[in-house]
Structure 1
C-alpha cells in the first residue's frame, strides 16, 4: 500500500508541474511529456471524433500556442479523480476551462489521461481522451 501512496504523492507533484507547463505556452515542454506511442482521441461538438498520434499531438500544441500568442491565455483545471492504474501508472480525470485576455471562453473540456512513471523517474503521457462540454456544466465548479 505504501508504494501506491508514494506513487500518488509523486504524481500529484508532477501533475501540478504539468498544469503549470500547460499554462506556460511552451510547446516543447508540453511535447516532452508525451510518449512516442501516445494514442489520443478527441470527441468534439456534434459527434466529431479525431484520433491522433505523437506527430499530430506535437504539432497541435505548437499550433494552439501560436493561435493564442499575445492574448494572455490561461487554462483552469478542476481535478475530478486521480487514481493508480498499476504499480507505475496513474489515470487523471479533470476538466479544463480557458480564458483569453482575462475573459472566460464559452468552452470546457473533460480529459482522461493515463501517465506512466518511467525507470528514469519521469512521467510520460501514454493516452488521452478529451470530450467537449458546455462551459456552464462546470464553470461554477472550477
Structure 2
C-alpha cells in the first residue's frame, strides 16, 4: 500500500478510533487492540508502568466503569501521523480530559503505533504515554 493511501485509510480509522474512545464502550475499544500490544506509561515523577493486552482489556473496562454517569470526554490534539512501514502508522497526540463538564488536571502525550491487518482492521500494537503537569503544559497547536 502506497504511503498516501495508507495515511488516508489510517486518517479515516483514527477518527473512528477517537469516537470509540469517547463512547466509553470497553468491548468496542478492546476490538481495536492487538493481542501483541505492548504499553509503557510514565509519570508523574519517575513512575513507569508496563503492561500488555490482557491488562489493557481490564484497564479499559475499569476506567469506563469508573467514569459511568460522569459524561467523560477526551480531547485529542493531533501532533503528527507518519507511516512507519508499509502496514504500520505512528500517531502522536496530546490528550486532555473532562468529566461532568469540567476539565480535569490531566495532560498526556501519546505515541501510538497501529498495524493494518486485513482489509479494514487497524490494531493498536504499541503505546507510549507521558504524563505532563498541567501547570507547565504549553501547546503550540
TM-score band, normalised by the shorter chain? over 0.9
* C-alpha RMSD of matched pairs (Å): 1.4
Change in Cα spacing, 1:56 to 1:22, as seen in structure 2 (3 Å) is same
Counterpart in 2 of 1:123? 122
CA–CA distance in structure 1, aligned partners of residues 140 and 75 of structure 2? 11
Deviating runs (4+, > 6 A) in structure 1? none
Aligned partner of 1:80 in structure 2 is: 79
Q: Does 1:25 align with 2:24?
A: yes
Corresponding residue number in structure 2 for 1:101:
100
Residue 141 of structure 1 deviates from its aligned partner by 5.8
d(CA) in 2 for partners of 1:120 and 1:36?
18
Tell me the alpha carbon deviations over residues 66-89 of structure 1, each in whole angstroms, 9 at most, x when there is no partner: 111100000000000100000110
Instruction: Tell me which protein shows more helix as a share of its residues.
Output: 1
Q: Deviations over 1:99-132 (max 9, x none)?
A: 0010000111000000000123310100000000
1:28–1:141 Cα change, 3 Å: farther
Does residue 1:66 correspond to 2:41, yes or no? Answer: no
CA distance in 1, matches of 2:97, 2:91: 19
Distance 1:120 1:49 in 2: 35
CA distance in 1, matches of 2:20, 2:122: 13
Q: Distance in 1 between matches of 2:140 and 2:98?
A: 15
User: What's the TM-score once normalised by structure 1's chain length?
Assistant: 0.94
Unaligned runs of 5+ in 2: none
